[in-house]
Amino acid sequence: MRSITIKDIARLSGVSVTTVSRALNNAPEISEETQERVLRVCREQGYRTNLLARSLISSRSHLLGLVLPELANPYHASLSLNIELCARELGYQIMLCCGRPEKGQMKSPFDLLLSQRVDGILMASTSDSAYALPQNGPGGVPCVVLGACAAESTTARTNTVSVDNFMGGYMAAEYLFRLGHRNTAYLGLRPGSSTHTLRNQGFLTAARTLGMAVEVVENPDPSSSIESGCRMARQLFRRPGFCQTAVFAASDAVALGVIQVADELGLAIPEQLSVLGFDNIEYAALPNIRLTTISQNTPLLARSAVRLLMELIESGEDAVYTRKLVTPSIIQRATCRPLSSEEAPPA
């Protein structure tokens, strides 16, 4: 059951192990003839490099650790997938490790990954910051934190890649303005969260520049969900003098709440009200929802993170910390419509 090694190949093709190694890594100092012969034997025997041994001696494992929060949402799924894909293209494998650091006697994800001698760590941020990175990085290898919440740790000594939430908010306002809307509402997320703050600021900044009115509705709940979207929508619709023709929900979950309430109240979307979301979660694409929304562009996010991590690994740089912002894009579906200029806002 022993798998065949470089020694076997050497014996079988009548050369030394060194030569076999050279043939495999097509080193310059080997004759084409020998190389071909050796490689043929390798193929015949089904030889496979033992990467453990290679990593051991080169002290580079070409492994990347990926730390995920314990909950499985489509966002993280897509992130993981793209990360793996990009890493593999660049010659790296992904070692998975899902949250829950101190459950029972289990070691923390970081310890495990470091023991496996990963070359770097990619960490999808959790809102639950119960376990953040150890103070000075995970200890020895570079680390990139990835995702929206990463912005919160703006002072920490970490490398982060996240969506540009400010820009997203800005784009939302521009988009609605271009459609002709002049009276809009912003429905927020968990108050104080950086995601909320940035998207809000972006939206308000653009609105101010463009001269577009914004009614801000604060999220009453500690966490934002469809339910809190419902609550905010009801509150908005019942305000005296409600005249908004479009709402920007700071997350798709909130947008779904808005749609639900509008449905209940017989408010037609998009005829009477345009709704714009943020995140492009899977639900948004459902045929009976078709939510127009701002997409985080997970593939790009993933690629940027992997690239950054690569650079850190190659350079060995550990004194300078980078922060990348990825510009989101608008996914046009069916919940926003242009407003002709002579249309009066509803009473």
Residues that bind a second copy (CB under 8 A): 1, 3, 46, 48-53, 55-56, 61, 66, 68, 70-74, 76-78, 80-81, 84-85, 88-89, 93-98, 100, 106, 111-112, 114-117, 139-140, 226-227, 256, 260, 263, 282-283, 286-288, 316
Give the whole-angstrom CA distance, residue 173 versus residue 164: 15
- The residue behind tokens 């209940």 is 264
Q: Of 93 and 209, which has the nearer Cβ to a second copy? A: 93
Selected binder of DNA within 12, 17, 289, 334 (CB under 7 A): 17
DSSP secondary structure string for all residues of 41-92: HHHHHT----HHHHHHHHT---EEEEEE-SS--HHHHHHHHHHHHHHHHTT-
Own/partner pairs for 259-267, CB < 8 Å, 24+ apart? 259/289, 259/291, 259/335, 260/226, 260/229, 260/230, 260/233, 261/229, 261/230, 261/233, 261/234, 261/237, 262/233, 262/237, 265/237, 267/237
Name the binder of 39 from DNA, a second copy, none, CB < 5-8 A by kind: none
Q: Is 57 in the site for DNA (CB under 7 A)?
A: yes
Output the smallest distance, CB 35 to a second copy, in A. 18
Q: Is 49 in the site for DNA (CB under 7 A)?
A: yes
CB atoms inside a 10 Å sphere around CB 345: 13
Output the smallest distance, CB 142 to DNA, in A. 19
Give the whole-angstrom CA distance, residue 313 versus residue 104: 32
Selected binder of DNA within 1, 11, 12, 22 (CB under 7 A): 22
Give the whole-angstrom CA distance, residue 294 versus residue 243: 24
Output the smallest distance, CB 86 to DNA, in A. 24
Selected binder of DNA within 11, 34, 157, 329 (CB under 7 A): 34
Name the binder of 216 from a second copy, DNA, none, CB < 5-8 A by kind: none
Selected binder of DNA within 3, 26, 93, 154 (CB under 7 A): 3
Name the binder of 205 from a second copy, DNA, none, CB < 5-8 A by kind: none
